[in-house]
A and B are shown apart, each in its own frame.
Chain A
Amino acid sequence: MYTFLSPKTLEDARGFLKSYPNLKIIAGGTDLIIGLREGLFAPDAVMDIKQIPELAQIKQTDEGLEIGAAVTVSELLCSGHLSGAYNALKEAGLELANSLLRNRATLAGNICNASPGGDMLSASLVLDAWVETVTPEGGRKISLSDFFTGPKKHVLKPDEMVIKTVYPKHQGKSAYRKKKRIRGHDLAQVGVSGLLKGDGVLTLAFGACGPTPVLIGGFNTKTQSRAEILDAAMNGISPIGDVRASKEHRQEMARYLTEAVLDALEEVRK
């Protein structure tokens, strides 16, 4: 049995991070509660971060779009902030689970759960997002390109907590496309995100195509053909077969969805 903690301030939360070494954080809880029930972990304390006011905020700042760690996917989708270059994040949010779960699930929770197929992850990677964390003694910024280390694994320390995710401003377009087994609620067999900037620089990211979400950048649509881009991208992913799809199906779908993303971004010539 764990102790349930509900700090009202970030300072109190930092104190709990120090005093309970075996602590789990609950934001939306849509992954955590299943893990608790199945005995995947047995924390001494579960800390609810939803009572900390600053973690519930969405803000446009000089740095970009800041999304607090307690903001749900539904709140984010309804916020009106996901226009322009942030479109991939909106398309990924609409694909995440179903409307009931989106009313609880949080962006930060999806990132910290670190599933290789998590819908928000590839979209966040192409948008060059980072997370800001706190620990009892300090905190840091971590680029998402350095965040994921394996399936459901990341670089956070046991006493470290994500407080916000930040998306820098971009000039350009982005898109997310997902393949799943059924039309309704399902995890991704493959998810592909793309960001095309005004200068022709293209970044792609792939979900469920490797042990972590895979970011492949540095394409240039002004100098490379679509076939060159596709071939290079497919060489950068390493999907496996599992309950949701075979390796071969994932490879096919990754190529197909990448084409769909490039179509959505329009300006990539065939």
Chain B
Amino acid sequence: MKAINLTVNGEAHKVFCPENITLLTLLREYLHLTGAKVGCAAGECGACTVIYNGKPVNSCMVLAMEAEGAVVETIEGEAKDGKVSPLQQAFIDNHALQCGFCTPGMIMSARALLDENPKPSRDDIIHAMEGNLCRCTGYEPIITAIEQAAGGVR
């Protein structure tokens, strides 16, 4: 066991955990933030996407020990004061989810894109979302939702 210090959704944490777990396991099992999902656990599906020091990454592809001092944003930080964000609302409005398993990862990839590029083109969106797989929607409603969110104010 080793202590790791990191900031998650604006809150500082000191977590004692084994040296061989991933950031995804730390978030889910030690901080009880289960929004990031365990999909493939091999960097293929994007269900575990979080924003890590400003960049979207697969949290299954980061060791918890690498995250010393890191600033992490997860889906749990997206809604503010009990209200979903415009990005989340755009997903609801456009039926951009069905089973919802991929949605936390989708939202975090889209959030990272919009933070960096508030007015992305459709191609920018497709490019930014290429690491997130969805087996329900066929992607079109997701792209439309992000376009809609980019047109509004967060």
Contact = CB atoms under 8 A, between A and B. Distances in A.
Interface string B1-14: 01000000000000
A178 to B, nearest CB: 14
**B contacts with A: majority SS:** mixed
A30 B55 CA distance: 15
B131 A98 contact: yes
A66 to B, nearest CB: 23
A185 B130 contact: yes
A101 B68 contact: no
Interface residues of B, number: 29
A100 B56 contact: yes
A26 B23 CA distance: 15
A33 B63 contact: yes
Interface in A87-112: 97-101, 103-104
Contacts of A3: 19
A168 to B, nearest CB: 30
B19 A100 contact: no
Interface stretch (B39-47, B71-79, B83-91, B94-102): B39-47
A100 B131 contact: yes
Given A30-B43, A97-B131, A98-B130, 19 more contacts: A4-B2, A4-B63, A4-B65, A26-B66, A29-B63, A30-B61, A46-B63, A50-B66, A99-B56, A99-B128, A100-B43, A100-B49, A100-B58, A100-B61, A100-B132, A103-B52, A103-B55, A104-B61, A104-B62
18 contacts: A4-B2, A6-B65, A29-B66, A33-B62, A34-B43, A48-B65, A48-B66, A74-B55, A97-B43, A97-B131, A98-B131, A99-B128, A99-B131, A100-B43, A100-B109, A101-B131, A103-B56, A103-B57
